Structure 1
Amino acid sequence: MIKKVLTWLGIAFLIFFIAFNPNSAAAVFESLGDTIGDIARGFGTFFTNLVA
């Protein structure tokens, strides 16, 4: 029960954050995307060096 309530509160906060601070929300998601890209490039470099 508490997990469901916290999930819905998190979704509501996310919608509120995007609706009232779209520039900040875009910056946060851009930062997350850059971080995921950096991690993927790191794995790619690791496996390339491992095979070569």
Structure 2
Amino acid sequence: MPATVKKVLHWLLWGFIIYAVVTNPDRAADIVRAIWDIISQGVLNIGRFFGNIVNG
């Protein structure tokens, strides 16, 4: 993908994020919280997986 296309997509993404936060901050916070929960649960589960492998 050309650099100009990446740059335009990058700015569009940030523009959408700013728009979403300004127009509906409560919903934007809920989305960020949900994404954080998914990531943190994934990291915990990976840790449990490797802990079970090590501890047998």
> TM bucket by the smaller chain?
over 0.9
Superposition deviation, residue 2 in structure 1: 1.2
Q: Where do 5+ consecutive residues of structure 2 fail to align?
A: none
1:22 matched to 2:37? The reply is: no
Please report the TM-score for the alignment, with normalisation by the length of structure 1.
0.94
Which runs of 4 or more aligned residues in structure 1 lie more than 4 Å from their structure 2 counterparts after TM superposition?
Answer: none
Give the number of equivalent residue pairs. Answer: 52
Please report the TM-score for the alignment, with normalisation by the length of structure 2.
0.88
Q: Where do 5+ consecutive residues of structure 1 fail to align?
A: none
